[in-house]
Structure 1
C-alpha cells in the first residue's frame, strides 16, 4: 500500500518527550514564580512602603533565568528523547528487518530477540513462531506438489506406454490393453478425487450439521465388511452416541478411510479391527485400532503426510493412492479436532480422532 510520507515514530516520540518536558518545566517555573512573587509581595507589605513594583522586579530578575532554563530543557528534551526513543525502538527495527527478509521469500531467518520478556520481545517471539509455522507449511506444500505431480505422472506415463505398444503392434490383444488402461485410468480418477476432497476439507467449504459419529462408524463398517471378510479380518464395533457438528459427507469419509486403512494394513490372516466411539466432557472420540506389523514411533509420525505409506500393504489388491490418512488429518483439522496415531505394543496401529461435541439444547 502506497502511503504519504510522514514523521517517523522515533521523531514523534522525541517531540512528545521534549514537549512533555517543556510543559513540566513551564508548570514548575510558574509555581516557583508565583511563590517568589507572593513572598516579595508579603515582604513589601510588611515593610509598609512601596519602594518599587514587585511584579516588575520579579520579571527583571526571574524571567531571564526562566528563559535559560526553558532553552536548556528544550535542548535536553530533544537530545534525550532522540536517544531514548532510539533505544526503545531498536527491537522494533529488528522485527521490521526480519519482516522484510521474510517478504523476500527467506523464511529461515529468525529474530531471536535477547533480553528479558517485554512487549517487543513477546512480539518477536510470536513472529519467530509464525515464521516457523510458515516455513513448515511451505515445505509441506512443496513436498505435496512434488508428490502429487509424481503420482499423477505415473498413470499418465503408463497409459502412454500402453497406447504406444498397441500402435506399434497391431496384433497385440486389444482387450488386454483396454483392461489395463481402465485400471490405470481408474487409479488416476481416484487420485484426482482424493486431491479434490483434500482441498475441499482444507478450505472448510462445507455446511455444518449435527452428526452422530457412531452412526458414521457403523455405516463405514457395514460398507467395508465385504472387504474385511475377503481379507480375513474381523471388525468389532461398539461405543456411545457421539453427536458432533460438521459435514456428514466428510465425517463419513473420515471414518471410512480409517476403517479401510485398518483392514488393508493388517495381518495376512486372522486380523482384527476395533472401532470404538466414546463421549467425554465437551468432546467425542472415535478410535480405530488394528493388528498388524510392528511400527516405530518415527514411522507413525509420518503417516499423515500426503502419499506417505508405512509398511507394504498385506492386501496388494487394495493399493489406494496414499492420501487416506492425509485426508483424515485434514478433515479432523477442519472440524477443529485432534488426531493421534500410536503404535500398538503387539503390532498394528491405534488412531484416535477427538472432536468437539455438539452442544446439547438447553432444557
Structure 2
C-alpha cells in the first residue's frame, strides 16, 4: 500500500500485490502439502509397527491376521509413494506435452474399476460424449481420488453422487464433475487423538486431493470445495471442454 501513488505506478503496484497473493497461496499450499504427506506416511507406519509387535507375541490365526494387517499398511505406503511420484511428474509436465482429449465417461468407468464401495456411487451424466482437454490417465486418477475421498468421508449407508455437466465460465467451455458425499453420521465420525476429525474445504485435503488440485491447475482447470446441505462436502473438478 503506497497510498496516493501516481497513476503511472498503479499498474506496477497492482501487479506486485497480485504476485504477493500468489506467493502467499503457494506457501500455504506447500505447508499443507508437507503436513498431509507426513500424516499419510505416519498413519500406516504406526499401524505396521503395532501389528508387527502384536504378531511377535501371539501364534496361529491371530498372528496371521496381524501380519495381514501389517501387509495392508505396506500397500498403503506403496500407494503414497506412487502418488508422490505422480505429483513429481505433474510438476515437470515433460511426460504430458502431447496427449489426446479424454472422454469423461470412459475415465469414470476406469476410475471405478476395483474400487471398494463403488456400488454406492450414483452417476448422473448430462451426456455420454464429453471430451476434456487433459490426459486420460490423469483424469482417471483425479476422478478416482475424489471418489475414494468421498467414500472415505461418508457413512456406509450414504450414497456418493457423481454429476457431470457443462457450463461456460469466463468465456470458456468447461466440464464440471461434482462429487457429493453425505458426511459421517455422529456414530461413524473419525476421531483423532480423542477429537472428532472435521474437514474444512481449505485444509485437511490429504495427498490424493493435492494431486487432483495439481492436475486441475496444470491443465487450466480448477478444484473447488464447499459444504452441502447433507452435512458433507461437494468437490467440483472443472476442466476445459473439447468441442
Tell me which interval the TM-score lies in, with the shorter structure as reference length. 0.7 to 0.9
How far residue 254 of structure 1 moved from its aligned partner, in angstroms, is 1.1
Question: Does the CA contact (< 8 Å) of 1:218 and 1:237 recur in 2?
Answer: no
Structure-1-length-normalised TM-score:
0.52
Question: Does the CA contact (< 8 Å) of 1:284 and 1:356 recur in 2?
Answer: yes
Q: Structure 2 vs 1, CA of residues 247 and 190 (structure 1 numbering), >3 Å: closer, same or farther? A: same
Aligned with 2:224 (options 328, 337, 340): 340
Superposed CA deviations along residues 146-199 of structure 1, whole A, max 9, x for unmatched, are 4423432443354445556666x5x65553443232122111111111222223
Q: Structure 2 vs 1, CA of residues 352 and 162 (structure 1 numbering), >3 Å: closer, same or farther? A: closer
Partner of 2:2: 113
Question: Does the CA contact (< 8 Å) of 2:132 and 2:240 recur in 1?
Answer: yes
Helix, strand or coil at the partner of 2:214: helix
Instruction: Output the CA distance in 2 between the equivalents of 1:164 and 1:264.
Output: 27
Greater alpha carbon shift after TM alignment, 186-195 vs 344-353: 344-353
Question: Does the CA contact (< 8 Å) of 1:278 and 1:284 recur in 2?
Answer: yes
- Give the number of aligned pairs: 223
Helix, strand or coil at the partner of 2:34: helix
Max Rg structure: 1
Instruction: Output the CA distance in 1 between the equivalents of 2:173 and 2:126.
Output: 14
> What are the ranges of 5 or more consecutive residues in structure 1 without an aligned counterpart?
1-111, 310-321
Aligned with 2:123 (options 236, 239, 243): 236
Helix, strand or coil at the partner of 2:229: coil
Instruction: Output the CA distance in 2 between the equivalents of 1:178 and 1:209.
Output: 44
Partner of 1:182: 71
How far residue 335 of structure 1 moved from its aligned partner, in angstroms, is 0.9
Helix, strand or coil at the partner of 1:133: helix
Aligned with 1:203 (options 92, 109, 121): 92
Partner of 2:45: 156
Partner of 1:227: 117
Q: Structure 2 vs 1, CA of residues 266 and 144 (structure 1 numbering), >3 Å: closer, same or farther? A: closer
Measured on the aligned residues, the alpha-carbon RMSD in Å equals 3.1
Aligned with 2:240 (options 340, 344, 356): 356
Helix, strand or coil at the partner of 1:269: coil
Helix, strand or coil at the partner of 1:246: coil
Q: Structure 2 vs 1, CA of residues 291 and 159 (structure 1 numbering), >3 Å: closer, same or farther? A: closer
Q: Structure 2 vs 1, CA of residues 195 and 278 (structure 1 numbering), >3 Å: closer, same or farther? A: same
Question: Does the CA contact (< 8 Å) of 1:257 and 1:324 recur in 2?
Answer: yes
Partner of 2:163: 275
Instruction: Output the CA distance in 2 between the equivalents of 1:261 and 1:222.
Output: 16
Higher helix share: 1
Partner of 1:327: 211
Structure-2-length-normalised TM-score:
0.74
Question: Does the CA contact (< 8 Å) of 1:290 and 1:350 recur in 2?
Answer: yes
